[in-house]
A and B are shown apart, each in its own frame.
Chain A
Amino acid sequence: MTIEDAPLVGDRRRSAGWVGAAISTDHKRIGLNLGLCSLVFFLAGGVMALFIRAQISQPNNHIVSDQAYSELFTMHGSTMIYLFVTPMAIALAIYLVPLQIGADEIAGGRTTLAGFWIWLLGGLTMEASWLANDGAGRDGWFSYTPLSESQYTPGVGQDLWTLGVILAVTGTTIMAATVVWTIARRRAPGMALLRMPVFTWTALVSVLMVVGSFPVLIAAMILLYLDRTAGTHFFVGFTGSIDYQDLFWFYGHPVVYVMFFPYLGAAAEAIAAAAHKRWFGYKAFVASMLAFSALSMSVWAHHMYTTGGSVNEAFAFTSTLLLIPAGVEYFDVLGTLIGGSIVLRTSMLFGLAFFLQFLIGGVSGIWIASPVLDYSNHDTYFIIGHFHYTLFAGSIFGFFAGVYHWFPKVTGAMLRERLGKLQLVVMVIGTNMTFFPMFILGQEGMVRRISRYPEHPGWGTLNLIESIGAGIIAIGVLIFLVNAWISLRDRVPAGADPWEGQTLEWWTSSPPPVLNFPEPLPPITSYAPLQDLREQARERERERVTT
């Protein structure tokens, strides 16, 4: 039983419209706001990427200046990581986790709301650096010292970038903490830990990593800001620079997995629903997620092999161990597909594309987990290819798998399947055209973060192919926006459960009402309670026919 609007009793009526959406403590509204704002930042980061690709599509181009190029790649990386992929993963968790665990609300709705606004204002502070006289942040998304110290990068733009990161990451951490608390305290009766859906587990390990590692980046950025403005010397000299890198990558590697796990969960849910089968090897999957996340917090210095400031053997060991839990997940996908009644929906196809393309990122990761091989590839386009295969070809495809899977739940309308499949084809072509040649360029020695390069044989052609690929990706994103617009304008009603979903979010209406579940929940005896109901109904039907 609840008293809705309790804090506003005798005070004022709940605000409607834009103001109501902005101050709502409903987890669905906050998740939606966070997702939509992240999407806007994604489009902004995408435009920056197009400028970057235009500049290096040919040797010695002069579309933007050298400094503008530095600002573009810094702000592109920062926007995508701090303001899109990570917060979008948290947005999915905020929206879906309470629904999947049968909770009527998120724990700490006010705290989550404050976290969202701190993140958003942090993002705007970061982007406000474009307005500074001396230009935006321009030291890369990791802002290594001593380059980012005030004597080498003076000006307000870099200061605003640093403060923006502090705010955005603080907001993200606050929101993640409320998701941890929700999973711990708000599960419905019967929703034991090993009955939580696959997506909720991926969200749980992600938010655990956020709480354990993101505060370290906040501390590093505060110290960097003090170095820049208050004359302190935390990151001076070789030791100081290595300390900064240690602090940064203690955040910087876990965040890669925060940007991966929830999308893995989304792809897994989409595949299981389209295969009409439970997720194969559930307990092994849960164990592998815990191991995966713990290991991913123990590999940070593999980004520092060439600095001379890390013990490479230790980090090569833990980095290579990551293969084991990753293998378990691929095994689970295959196990889920085998014997399933597969329907080739867009969400499922995006999920499969996620696993296939992430495989390329993962295999190239084995290469650079080895210090010996990494020495020749460090700071080359091989690295750019690797992390774009994990974060774009991986996470973004998982994100779209989630969008096509849960859009009907969030809006009550179906997305158009044909347009979705067209988007998939276009994006697969564009993604591989853009990022695969980077491996070749990296092997040939083309270094990253250069606005112009010599007319080395083949480099101009490969870069041109990459730039055309980037344009094709943009067309793919445009197709999605058109699809969303058409689907919301000419609505095809989705109903509560258009996919024969397995988890509790499909028990309630689409979109779910305030407090989520007006009807009593079904018995929860496994991680797929709705699948249980269907199987029981089929069993009863069989018995009836037999008798």
Chain B
Amino acid sequence: MRGGAIPLLAWALLLSVLYAINVVWTGKGLDAAMAGFAVAATIVTALALAVRRPREALRSGPPPPSEEPKAIPTASYGSVLLAVGVAATVFGLSFAHFVVYFGGGLILVSLGLIAREGYLQRRALRRWREERQP
């Protein structure tokens, strides 16, 4: 199978067998719910990998060389600000409510920054292509 889903599916299968035994043996609803979550999370990840743009089978050797560049971010203020916003929101629940609003504001700003970083990333790629077109 393509996309790296095999180990996840194998692991999900193992978990399913063990949890089936467990649920039959213990008969506890909460156990079944937790186990179901773990299996579902693994299968959903595996399916996401399988469905997303499939990659070349790795074992068959390297893919043909590509001149298409990748734009790789090396720094991100937005991500750090997003984390600070989330932490401030949670911390504020116990400390003071104004910190919750401050954190919410930071999250909005950070999402804007991340969107801008993504835009600049795409623009850099577009310009690279334009510069090389005859």
Contacts and interface: CB of A to CB of B under 8 A. Distances in A.
Contacts of A171: 83
B111 to A, nearest CB: 11
Contacts of B22: 298, 314, 318
Contact of A290 (B14, B74, B114, B117): B14
A515 B77 CA distance: 20
Interface residues of B, number: 71
A23 B84 CA distance: 12
A160 B86 contact: no
Contacts of B28: 246, 311
Nearest to B46: A184
Nearest to B50: A184
A213 B18 CA distance: 15
- Provide the main secondary structure of the chain B interface: helix
A211 B45 contact: yes
Contact of A6 (B39, B61, B121): B121
A167 interface: yes
Interface string A192-204: 1100000000001
B26 to A, nearest CB: 4
B80 A22 contact: yes
Contacts of A250: 34, 38
Given A117-B87, A118-B86, A294 B74 contact: no
Contact of B6 (A11, A14, A26, A193): A193
A8 B83 contact: no
A111 B79 contact: yes
Contacts of B112: none
Contact of B34 (A10, A114, A125, A216): A216
Contact of A3 (B30, B62, B124): B124
B41 interface: yes
Interface in B79-123: 79-80, 82-84, 86-87, 90-91, 93-95, 114, 117-118, 120-121, 123
- Provide the main secondary structure of the chain A interface: helix
B80 A114 contact: yes
Which of A114, A156, A301 gathers the greatest number of chain B CB atoms within 10 Å? A114
Interface in A1-50: 1-11, 14-15, 20, 22-26
A540 B5 CA distance: 39
Which of B31, B55, B90 gathers the greatest number of chain A CB atoms within 10 Å? B90
B63 to A, nearest CB: 6
Contacts of A243: 30
Contacts of B130: none
B87 A125 contact: yes
Contact of B86 (A113, A167, A229): A167
B134 interface: no
Contacts of B93: 159, 163, 225, 229
A243 B123 CA distance: 51
Contacts of A118: 83, 86-87
Contacts of A26: 74
Which of B18, B19, B66, B67 gathers the greatest number of chain A CB atoms within 10 Å? B18
B69 A514 contact: no
Contacts of A302: none
Interface string A73-114: 000000000000000000000000000000011000111011
Contact of A190 (B8, B59, B70): B59
A313 interface: yes
Contact of B4 (A5, A163, A183, A514): A183
Given A15-B75, A180-B45, A293-B11, A121 B31 contact: no
A113 B76 contact: yes
Contact of B15 (A11, A184, A294): A294
Given A185-B49, A191-B58, A318-B22, A3 B117 contact: no
Nearest to B29: A243
A118 B31 CA distance: 29
Contacts of B82: 114
A1 B11 contact: no
Given A1-B68, A7-B76, 16 more contacts: A2-B69, A2-B71, A3-B72, A6-B121, A10-B120, A25-B74, A26-B74, A113-B79, A118-B86, A184-B49, A185-B55, A190-B61, A211-B45, A246-B28, A298-B15, A318-B21
Interface of A: 1-11, 14-15, 20, 22-26, 104-105, 109-111, 113-118, 121-122, 125, 128, 156, 159-160, 163, 166-167, 170-171, 180, 183-185, 187-193, 204-205, 208, 211-213, 215-216, 225, 229, 243, 246-247, 250, 290-291, 293-295, 297-298, 301, 310-311, 313-314, 318, 514-515
11 contacts: A4-B72, A7-B74, A14-B75, A159-B93, A189-B62, A193-B4, A208-B42, A211-B45, A216-B37, A290-B7, A301-B26
Closest 10 A/B residue pairs (Cβ): A184-B4, A117-B83, A6-B71, A121-B87, A189-B62, A294-B14, A212-B38, A314-B25, A6-B124, A7-B117
Interface of B: 3-8, 10-11, 14-15, 18-19, 21-22, 25-28, 30-31, 34, 37-39, 41-42, 45, 49, 52, 55-56, 58-59, 61-63, 66-80, 82-84, 86-87, 90-91, 93-95, 114, 117-118, 120-121, 123-125, 127-128
